[in-house]
Amino acid sequence: MSTQEERKNLEMLYEGKAKKIFRTENPEQVLVYFKDDATAFNAQKKGSVADKGAMNNAISTLIYQHLDKQGVPNHFIEQLNEREQLVQKVDIIPLEMVVRNYVAGSMAQRLGLEEGAKSPHTIFDLCYKKDELGDPLINDHHAVLLGAATYEELEELYQITDRINEILKELFLRADLILADFKIEFGKTSDGKIILADEISPDTCRLWDRETGKKLDKDRFRRDLGDVSEAYHEVHDRLVKALKTA
């Protein structure tokens, strides 16, 4: 099961931009394979980043293990090897929960603000997960209209998301990184429980060096800043160190 050879016999359920999902012999579990492929701007920009799959697999594993210790319900089961992890099978809720601690990215553009200022409060943006529409920004009422979640479920999602933000901000600060913003997704288990799902990595977080403000995330790829692979390695190494000294 854990070797690449055996994986070749597994049926691929889905291929995304940065990952492939395979069926396993257990109907409640799927295998996630992390690719080096990178896309941005709704796949208009495409490329590859050396070691990105291995780094994101390792980084996401460290983060999920940490969140699990803090009691956050999540899909992570175990890392199998450099590129693969085993997770609980869920139906992904078609919503992206974006959390912003600093002004950056699409919000800076949309509101005509300069990137880099700290927000006095946590900002939550809800997006509808729909590639054809470019994952548009929506509000709670739209989410309910779309049948993506009920008002009660949204309440629960915001609460868990807020808690995850507090845990991650603190973890990244220990690694001398500012968590400027990030995106998470949730899924529903076969018995209807809502749990955190999908990767958490420099592909899904904006991470800035605490001292210099240097970007150590996917913006290096999006904006052609160079040293993309080095940035992912750096985040990984800092997290390992931060978690060791915890």
- Locate tokens 């479920």: which residue? 153
Q: Which of 64, 182, 186, 221 binds ligand UDP (CB under 6 A)?
A: 182
Q: Residue 84 or residue 181: which is nearer to ligand UDP going by CB?
A: 181
**Is residue 185 a contact residue for ligand UDP (CB under 6 A)?**
no
The tokens for 138 are: 């929506």
15: three-class secondary structure by DSSP: strand
Q: Answer yes or no whether residue 101 interacts with ligand UDP by CB under 6 A.
A: no
Q: Where does 37-194 have alpha helices with state H?
A: 52-69, 105-111, 140-145, 151-174
Nearer to ligand UDP, 62 or 178 (CB): 178
Report in angstroms how near the CB of residue 3 gets to ligand UDP at its nearest: 30
Does residue 67 contact residue 169 with C-beta atoms inside 8 Å?
no
Q: Does 107 bind ligand UDP (CB under 6 A)?
A: yes
Q: Which tokens sit at 189?
A: 């288990």
Question: What residue number has its CB nearest to ligand UDP?
Answer: 105
Dihedral pair phi/psi, residue 54, rounded to 5°: -65, -45
Give the tokens for residue 228. Answer: 């993309």
**Is residue 122 part of the contact set for ligand UDP (CB under 6 A)?**
no
- Indicate which single residue of 52, 206, 220, 238 sits in contact with ligand UDP (rule: CB under 6 A): 206
* Residues within the interface to ligand UDP (CB under 6 A): 98, 104-107, 135, 181-183, 204-206, 218
